[in-house]
Structure 1
Amino acid sequence: MILIADSGSSKTDWRGIQTDGTVSQFRTVGFNPYYQSKQDMIAGLNVPPLLAVKQQVREVHFYGAGCTSESNQESVRQAINSLYPEAQVFVDHDLLASARATCGHEAGIACILGTGSNSGDYDGETITQSRPSPGYLLGDEGGGSYIGRQFLQDFIYDDMPAAIRKQVLDIYNLSIFDIQDNVYKKPFPNRYMAGFCTFITQHKSDPYCYQLLYKGFKDFFHRHVMRYEQYQKKPVNFVGSIAFFNHDVLRKVGEDLNIQIKTVIETPIAGLTLYHQKKI
């Protein structure tokens, strides 16, 4: 069996491909070596779906957030090999997964808008250039943590419309102390902040929520897409839940900036499965 993983900070989609082409699928928590130690990742990997195929796995292809540097790739590789000691493990960054899934063998700009954000200029085979992706404290423009952080700041400073604030209080029973506790004391503050994008997306007909999304996407285009050479002549493709569930707002921002958005999908796992099936 070949295992394929597409991992973000919040969740990981797995596909198992048998030699006869049969495909199985399941989901686990997300993994990110910037925020998790090797021991944390090992603990997250020891779950029933992955343990159940322990004797069958001969290759693992892991595409993950935070897997750009060799040291981070090695940390993930060692964690996976602790579960599958006999398997060949290949680790690459999630940006390559997005490019392969949306661009195929054609040139284009591949982008990720999920919990975090990232982008790269793709020549049809490899990522030739990418923008810095410094994480939720210093970057992640347009991603869930970025938009959710602004939402929480507006709540704290009472800078959101009264009607929206009332709904937030009714649904989440939110307080500044809850926010501080989740952001400064509990693990994965990026996931916590991104979690509020569900509410924002559901209420994007409200001008306040729409503008949160619009501004976040506009910041992403300015910091990422518009820094690539001849960006207006290249198709721009997106992967990630924030992009997928708000594609209408995203495409409007692209139109306003004269950027041609082509494909917007929630997850690249289906495209990656086809890519690796051909290699069996």
Structure 2
Amino acid sequence: MFLIADSGSTKTDWRLVDTNTGHSLAIQTDGFNPYYQNAQQIAATLQAQLLPHLKQASLTKVFYYGTGCTGPSVNYIIADALHLVLPGLQLVEVNSDMLGAARAAMGHQSGIVCILGTGANACCYDGTTTICGIQSLGFWLGDEGSGGYLGKTLVRDFFQDRLPAELQEAFQNQYALDRPTLLENAYQKPFPNRYFASFTPFLFTHLTHPYIAQLVTDAFVLFLTTYVKRFPEASQWPVHFVGSIAYYFSDLLQQAVKQTGLTMGRSIKAPADELVDFHKNG
């Protein structure tokens, strides 16, 4: 048996794959980021949330794709955590979430892939590996178009009285958010990107309102022009999207893609099942 993990900042989708039957079991745990957590912290969450689902499974391999897994200098944190919880593993491969998204969306075909979930990123893919990208600077300095960015923009507009009156009232009624609570979550508590992304359901609920539709579309256009349009391949290759934001706001995303002169590819909510097929088929 082997495990596949697709980990974002908010959640991790796992698939336990039986190599004899081809069947897979879906498991979900909290998300991980080696820039914010050490191996012991990650192992504690795996022990509590993942291990009970594995029972007596004879695991030999883990293929892990995750946010923050940008290279050996941080990837070892995930690998160490997995070995702490699953000491009998023969192989642990830790790769970036971008490579996972590319393999899920395109298999061995070339193209451009974007992640639009709690965070955001984009890269080119030659069918084997990611070949170019623009360095993501994370939540505070980037992540345009992501759930964190959309939520941050909405909350900022609320506190600066930029929302139309009916939206201002609806937001206050739903969240009763005050400035001290906002600033505590933004600057003192961990994972501010998760916190701000938690406001995206409000955007989805009010998506037919012109102000909200414009806010979301502008964020997508900014993402595409900042990252994707700068790739030389953007005029030739389709652009694929992975993540909950891309999935739930797909109509506005397609408008933004058209507006920026790009070609829309696939849109996948979560890549875990496609990654199962990729690793089963080689």
- TM-score normalised per structure 1: 0.96
State the secondary structure of the residue aligned to 1:25.
Answer: strand
Residue 271 of structure 2 corresponds to: 268
- The residue number in structure 1 matching 2:15 is 15
Name segments (4+ residues, structure 1) moved above 4 Å: none
SS at match of 1:47: helix
SS of corresponding position for 1:252:
helix
Match of 1:38 in 2: 39
Shift of 1:192: 0.4
1:218 is matched by which residue type in structure 2? V
**Distance in 1 between the 2:100 and 2:272 partners?**
8
Specify which of 213, 224, 227 is matched with residue 224 of structure 1: 227
Aligned equivalent of 1:239:
242
Partner secondary structure for residue 143 of structure 2: coil
* Aligned-residue RMSD, C-alpha: 1.2
Count how many residue pairs are aligned between Structure 1 and Structure 2.
Answer: 279
In the TM superposition, residue 260 of structure 1 has moved relative to its aligned partner by 0.5
Task: Using the TM superposition, give the Cα deviation of residue 50 of structure 1 relative to its aligned residue in structure 2, in angstroms.
Answer: 2.3
AA partner of residue 73 (structure 2): S
Q: TM-score, normalised by structure 2?
A: 0.96
Distance 1:34 1:152 in 2: 25
Gaps of 5+ in 1: none
* Deviations 1:14-37, CA, capped at 9 Å, x for gaps: 000112112111100000111222
| 1:185 equivalent in structure 2 | 188
User: Who is 2:70 aligned against?
Assistant: 68
Q: Which deviations, in whole Å up to 9, do the C-alpha atoms of 1:134-193 show, x marking residues without a partner?
A: 110111111011111111111111111111111111111111122112112222111000
Q: Identity over aligned residues, as a percent?
A: 40
Letter in 2 for 1:82: L
Is 1:163 the counterpart of 2:203? The answer is: no
Aligned residue for 2:135, secondary structure, equals coil
Matched residue of 1:259: which SS?
Answer: coil
Q: Which residue of 2 aligns with 1:103?
A: 106
**Is contact 1:54–1:83 with CA below 8 Å preserved after alignment?**
no
Counterpart Cα distance in 2 of 1:6 and 1:48: 15
Does the aligned pair in 2 maintain the 1:77–1:89 contact within 8 Å?
A: yes
Amino acid at match of 1:40: Q
Question: 1:168 is paired with a residue of what secondary structure?
Answer: helix
Any stretches of 5+ residues in structure 2 without a counterpart?
A: none
Partner residue, 1:53? 54
2:53 and 2:253 mapped to 1: Cα distance?
40
What residue identity is the alignment partner of 2:38? Answer: S
